[in-house]
Amino acid sequence: MLQDQDIKGFTLLELLVVIAIVSLVTAIGLPNFNSWKTEREVRVGAEKIAQVLSGVNAQTKRGTFPYVQMHINANISISGVAGNYPGTVVLGRGMTRTNLSKKLNSGKFPDCDTNLRTVAGSWEAEPTYEYKLKNIYLHVKNINAVCYSADETYYATTDEINKNKNIILNQGSTDQYIIVCSATEPNAKSAGKCPVTKSAGLKRPAYLIEWSRFGNVKRHKWNGDDWIR
């Protein structure tokens, strides 16, 4: 015997309304999510670079190493599980007192050598810090470095960082800095590096890491017009 069945379902009109609402919510929410994701990537990248700078300098103060380096390979293609992506690799490296003494005794200034090959009288094989920063570009390209010693005697920078032009900050100016931005930002992507000024096309999100030969590290945020703390 047939029984009456109370079967309910979506009408075509109701289904179309639901699809329209989901599409609208997605269209509104996706740009906000992408913006938040990009801001977070750049902020975390800046924090990691500042951490390495502070960390290697602290190692000289604690006596772990008498000579240290922050080594960066900027704006390159990095291999990952999901394939290659643009980014920057940041390392911290240390030199033992024995190796530093060998360089000094041989008359060789312990320069801020960026060669990753570990040779006698050079850096330790294992880095003290190592970060692969996904979708992060700097205002410099390829290999650059900053080196510290315990008494600031052998402080040095290399390559493009060594050629930094003075930049105006809210408390003065400095030529010791790294600008961090998103590798997906169109101006940075087309140039292969972060623009340095607004007129050159610098866009948010962007951060500037400032340091001194004495180990002070400060982080500044780009507000669209100026660098702010």
Q: What are the structure tokens assigned to 57, written together?
A: 């300098």
Structural domain count of the chain: 1
Residue 75 lies in a domain: yes
pLDDT number for residue 26: 65
Residue 5 lies in a domain: no
The answer, yes or no, to whether the previous bond of 205 is cis (omega within 30 of 0) is: yes
Residue 55: φ, ψ to 5°: -65, -45
Residue 11, in any domain of the structure: no
Q: What is the largest CA-CA distance in the chain?
A: 105
Closest to 197 in 3D by CA, of 157, 177, 171, 225: 225
Question: What CA–CA distance (Å, rounded) separates 82 from 130?
Answer: 20
pLDDT for the residue numbered 18: 78
Tens-digit pLDDT string for the chain (229 aa): 455 555 566 687 777 877 877 777 666 665 687 898 999 999 999 999 999 999 999 999 999 999 999 999 999 999 887 789 999 999 999 999 999 998 888 887 888 999 887 676 789 989 999 999 999 999 999 999 999 998 888 999 999 999 999 999 977 899 999 999 999 999 999 999 999 999 999 999 999 999 999 989 999 999 999 999 8
Dihedrals phi, psi of 204, to nearest 5 degrees: -75, 150
Q: Does a structural domain hold residue 7?
A: no
**Residue 162 belongs to some domain of the structure:** yes
Scanning the structure block, which residue is given the tokens 């997906």? Answer: 184
Determine, yes or no, domain membership for 109: yes
Predicted local distance difference test score (pLDDT) of residue 31: 65
Give the angle subtended at the CA of 20 by the CAs of 15 and 25, to the nearest 5°: 130
Please report whether residue 93 resides in a domain: yes
Specify if 9 maps to a domain. no
How far apart CA 184 and CA 189 sit, in angstroms, is 6
Please list the helix, strand and coil fractions of the chain in percent, rounded to the nearest 5, in that order. Answer: 30, 30, 40
The contacts of residue 160 (CB under 8 Å, 6+ apart) are 140, 141, 142, 144
Instruction: Provide the residue range defining the domain that includes 131.
Output: 18-228
Predicted local confidence at residue 25, as pLDDT: 66
Kindly state the tokens that stand for 208. Answer: 């500037």
197, 30 Cβ separation under 8 angstroms: no
Report pLDDT for 161: 97
